[in-house]
A = this chain, B = another copy of it.
Amino acid sequence: MQTNVIRMVIADDHDLVREGIHVRLASESYIDLVGEAKNGREAVDLCRAHKPDLVLLDVSMPKLNGLEAASIIKEELPDTKILFLSVYDNDEYVQEALRIGANGFVLKDVSKPEMLNAIRLASSGATYIGPRLSKSLAASTPSRGHSAQDYGLTNREKQVLAAISRGMPNKEIAETMNISVRTVESHRMSIREKTGGGNAVMLTKIATELGLT
């Protein structure tokens, strides 16, 4: 954003939706709609041609879906912000979108002000995730280890284990945690007892297994 006008491209395979968005945005003076695509391929081409500040992408589209298109756009035009639009409150899509580097994800039933808010935030470089999606995001992301086998590790032990897996020697761990080396050794020993892990490398494997990376 060099100026305060947001130059944007929109992409959705449904004419009706595209027109609806068009109407909503047309009345906003700070938005300059520079292109409209009806599939992912067109969206990518339009972005290449116009280098917009922001592209509003429907998730499900023919040729290239929104996520695929976003990957390409992000790679070629890192400064172009990406805002996803979806009918599905599917957390997998949100996850993937964030992984790609999206700056927002909203459902198609957003109100006009909420949508404009999302556009402003996304173009400013922040990330906006719509209300119902936040919930599914919270409920979903336990893919990082957790549950299953915690080996009964305490918080402190987990912290130490995480530090070990980052390659820190006990001395450094002690310093960053503001405790003595002996205490770190204590924790380390109980970690080994609980997990059955041997040396630092084995403990690292267990750490990644538990998602403490």
List, in ascending order, chain B residues with CB within 8 A of A125's CB: 131-132, 134-135
Given that A121-B117, A167-B199, A201-B201 are contacting pairs, would A130 and B126 also be in contact in the complex, using a CB cutoff of 8 Å? Answer: yes
List, in ascending order, chain B residues with CB within 8 A of A102's CB: 138
List, in ascending order, chain B residues with CB within 8 A of A33's CB: none
Main secondary structure of the interface of A (DSSP, over half): helix
Number of copies: 2
Check: A101 CB closer than 8 A to any chain B CB: yes
Check: A166 CB closer than 8 A to any chain B CB: yes
List, in ascending order, chain B residues with CB within 8 A of A124's CB: 131
Chain A, 182-212, CB within 8 A of any chain B CB: 198-202, 204-205
Q: How many residues of A contact B (CB 8 A)?
A: 44
Asked if residues A201 and B165 are in contact (CB atoms below 8 Å), the reply is yes
Check: A155 CB closer than 8 A to any chain B CB: yes
Bound: A155/B101 CA distance, A: 19
- Closest beta carbon of chain B to A110's beta carbon, Å: 10
List, in ascending order, chain B residues with CB within 8 A of A100's CB: 138
Check: A77 CB closer than 8 A to any chain B CB: no
Task: Select which of B95, B167, B201, B205 is within 8 A of A164 by beta carbon.
Answer: B201
- Closest beta carbon of chain B to A174's beta carbon, Å: 15
Bound: A114/B128 CA distance, A: 13
Asked if residues B201 and A137 are in contact (CB atoms below 8 Å), the reply is no
- Closest beta carbon of chain B to A211's beta carbon, Å: 9
Check: A157 CB closer than 8 A to any chain B CB: no
- Closest beta carbon of chain B to A203's beta carbon, Å: 8
Bound: A201/B164 CA distance, A: 8
Given that A155-B68, A167-B201 are contacting pairs, would A98 and B131 also be in contact in the complex, using a CB cutoff of 8 Å? Answer: no
Lowest 7 A-B CB distances belong to which pairs? A101-B138, A125-B131, A127-B129, A167-B201, A127-B134, A167-B202, A99-B141
